[in-house]
Amino acid sequence: MSWSIQAVLPGEWTFEVCRTYGVILTAVVGGRQQGSVTVDEDKRSFALGIAPVRTRGAYSGRGWKASLYQDAVKSLQEALS
């Protein structure tokens, strides 16, 4: 299993690779965690929070990883606003 991050994260956001769930992106504002989104490249999908991704996404073709990460970041930003 090979994980990589294919996005530029906003502000102080962080990411970590979790062997169980995938890549966890965490929104950090002013040094405080605001929320997370989990990206599973194998399933080509994401889920809000730190949790297993249960559905298979429809991302394919050239640039699918970048689109997946951009959509995950956008989804978390929308949830936090």
> What tens digit of pLDDT does each residue of 38-75 get?
999 999 999 999 999 998 889 999 999 999 999 999 99
Report the predicted TM-score, pTM, of the whole model to 2 decimal places.
0.87
What does the pLDDT look like over 12-33, one tens digit per residue? 899 999 999 999 999 998 889 9
Q: Which of 12, 57, 61 is nearest to 38 (CA)?
A: 57
Where are the domains positioned within the chain?
14-80
Task: Check pLDDT > 80 for residue 3.
Answer: no
Burial degree of 5 (CB within 10 A; 0-12, 13-18, 19+):
middle
Look over the chain and give the mean of its residue pLDDT values, rounded to a whole number: 90
